[in-house]
Structure 1
């Protein structure tokens, strides 16, 4: 049975994706839908420096390069932590820190909801 996990957008990530050009939005939507079904995107990489299970979806279109940092390993949802255009070879420290901060907030919220 194929279960579709809901997407949960953290911070301004939905607005950030809305600012992507149409081709990048379409590709990101297609790839995220696959992630919701438990598939890996066609181009992604693990981001353990941000948190356990965090991955970066890489979108390449003619107008530029775009990234979506997400966590799909939790059973209740796919969490989109951050989305941004990639302007240089290395991801900016600001983008990494923002994604890390949202990941840590998510972990803390889940601990408060489900104390062990």
Structure 2
């Protein structure tokens, strides 16, 4: 994990991390990982995986919620000034569902359009 010494805002386009449905320990882990991203750390496998099919700089945080026997995913993009959360969902299959990918692409396009980015 590499640190770039920044402090970015988190912008939530959809989803939230709360108890329930997350267990308390999974919520704390998600919060810790998001704080690391805010501080400019670059996370790698196994906690974060690139998701270039959604857009450049998009990643998937992997949260193992062993207390609730669930796997959570947080789709995020690293922008110069923010960590943009496109979705939070429970992982039920090996592959990220096509509808999740398409919804994230649409949300990020709308966000870019509303914020004046291209």
TM-score interval for Structure 1 and Structure 2 normalised by the shorter chain? 0.7 to 0.9
Bigger share in helix = 1
Deviating 4+ runs (over 4 angstroms): none
**1:65 to partner: Cα distance:** 0.7
1:26-37 equivalence runs, <5 A: 26-37=28-39
* CA–CA separation in structure 2 for the residues paired with 1:20 and 1:108: 32
Q: TM-score, normalised by structure 2?
A: 0.82
Equivalent residue in structure 1 for 2:63, among 53, 59, 62: 59
**1:2 to partner: Cα distance:** 3.4
Q: Could you list the runs of 5+ residues in structure 2 that have no partner in the other structure?
A: none
What does the per-residue CA deviation read over 1:45-91, in whole Å, with 9 as the maximum and x for residues that have no partner?
1111111111111111212111000011x222111111111011111
* CA–CA separation in structure 1 for the residues paired with 2:41 and 2:99: 28
In structure 1, the residue matched to 2:105 is: 100
Q: TM-score, normalised by structure 1?
A: 0.83
Are 2:13 and 1:7 equivalent residues in the alignment? no
* CA–CA separation in structure 2 for the residues paired with 1:34 and 1:90: 26
Of 42-51 and 24-33, deviating more is 42-51
Kept after mapping to 1: 8 A contact 2:58/2:75: yes
* CA–CA separation in structure 2 for the residues paired with 1:36 and 1:26: 15
Q: Could you list the runs of 5+ residues in structure 1 that have no partner in the other structure?
A: none
Are 2:57 and 1:48 equivalent residues in the alignment? no
* CA–CA separation in structure 1 for the residues paired with 2:24 and 2:100: 22
RMSD: 1.9
* CA–CA separation in structure 1 for the residues paired with 2:22 and 2:9: 21
How many positions carry a matched residue from both structures?
A: 109
